[in-house]
Amino acid sequence: MTTDPLDFPSLLAEPDDTQAPIVGHLHLHVADLAAARTFYVDVIGFDLMQQYGGQAEFVSAGGYHHHLGYNLWRGKNIAPAPENATGLVWWTVNLPDIDAQNAVIARLVAAKHPHTVQAGVVWVRDGVGIQLRIVVGA
């Protein structure tokens, strides 16, 4: 994995700013790596691709190096951000078909993890309160 700088001029020059941006991958702070792995790998269904000591893990779908990284770089067991905090409100996981979405729902139910399904969208929060919107296609 390499780290390249974000090309801000190119990003700001995008012609259509009426839609939310599509982000190739995301990095999140979590309170506990094992709990995050249970949620993102065992329940949501990502594959664990790489571990960075006891500090970070990187997961993906389809063999990609990582779609999601989660880490403890702000510290372990830090409380979730308050509801009115500035930051990420939710992010979307796009699944290939309804069978994949139904499989996620079945794992959420089996794990007794709170979630809602509204108009084909699965809404769920991870262990630190980060909300995911799980949809078919996009």
pLDDT digits (tens, 9 = 90+) for 44-58: 999 999 999 899 999
Chain segment 110-127, per-residue pLDDT in tens: 999 999 999 999 999 998
pTM of the predicted model as reported, rounded to 2 decimal places:
0.82
User: Which residue segments constitute the domains of the chain, with CATH numbers given?
Assistant: 8-77+87-136 (3.10.180.10)
Structure-block tokens of residue 126: 């991870």
User: What is the pLDDT of the chain when averaged over all its residues?
Assistant: 88
How far is the CA of 122 from the CAs of 17, 26, 106, in angstroms?
26, 19, 12
99 vs 23: CA distance, rounded Å: 24
